[in-house]
Structure 1
């Protein structure tokens, strides 16, 4: 398994490096293909490239109205998740614009609305990030947790 990861790492890094600010939207599409989802922004468009549900990365490529790439970033990380507001100002659409659609929408008896579940990785630890919505789709709670399913692989 480690050999497979070691072989895949250069390809992943090359893919990340292949799309950079200043490129055109067409160059992005030629390099990475069609996005998982495209979202309109006030001054352009966001191309979302998600590796969810199996993968743990989601890349956002922001393109301005002229078709030039402004930024490229991987958003499945602690600092980006920290931007999620639980004060009632964020809705489901805000979460999906910033992180892409969640691969899982769960429900539990102790919460009245859906729970969006994202998978991500910090160092060698597989994690979940849960975003709790009320029945109107307003974000009310959010937190991370460990994905224990793969911990035995990390420890060995």
Structure 2
């Protein structure tokens, strides 16, 4: 019987793609059911980027895509080590609603957003600017959290993320 190498490659590629798609669904933090135990979460998602102790004796497992990715998922566990809620913090509505200018500190930013994609200083602000990447309606954006020398949030700004144009030029 004659074999078709291209068909065989296509079949293998299709099976591999389907397997990867299913695997990526199982590793999506937003799909972990409330009540799931910490050990099961870490088996499914891997080690978190950061682990924080919450005031209610709970624990926050933080899964961050920063600096390259555009997400930060916070999975809050109760004192019993089971998932209470999952929240995606890299959302413009979440950022505008929750970050409190003049009240949040460096610790609040770390607890909720994790490590930034970039830390920089500019001449027009006395302090550090922590930059996080996120998407807004599928457009790459950046959130800039300005922290004064005492570590207090003084400003929150949003900019479009500059991405190199990969499309060939159009000569109309």
TM-score bucket of the superposed structures, by smaller chain: 0.7 to 0.9
Match of 2:155, SS?
strand
For 1:12 and 1:117, how far apart are their aligned partners in 2?
Answer: 27
TM-score, length basis structure 1? 0.86
**Kept in 1: contact 2:134–2:143 (CA 8 A):** yes
Select 2:99's aligned residue among 73, 79, 84.
84
> Displacement, 1:13?
4.0
Superposed structure 1 runs of 4+ greater than 3 Å apart: 6-14
Select 1:32's aligned residue among 37, 41, 45.
45
For 2:166 and 2:137, how far apart are their aligned partners in 1?
Answer: 14
Deviations 1:84-132 (A, max 9, x none): 011x211010011111121211101111100000001112210000000
TM-score, length basis structure 2? 0.78
Instruction: Calculate the aligned-residue CA RMSD, in Å.
Output: 2.2
Select 1:15's aligned residue among 2, 27, 40.
27
Once the two structures are superposed, the pairs formed by residues 1-156 of structure 1 within 5 Å of their partners are: 12-16=24-28, 18-43=31-56, 44-82=58-96, 83-86=98-101, 88-150=102-164, 152=165
Distance 1:63 1:97, change over 3 A: same
- Give the aligned length: 148
In structure 1, the gaps of 5 or more residues are 1-5
For 2:22 and 2:68, how far apart are their aligned partners in 1?
Answer: 19
For 1:9 and 1:75, how far apart are their aligned partners in 2?
Answer: 24
Distance 1:68 1:91, change over 3 A: same
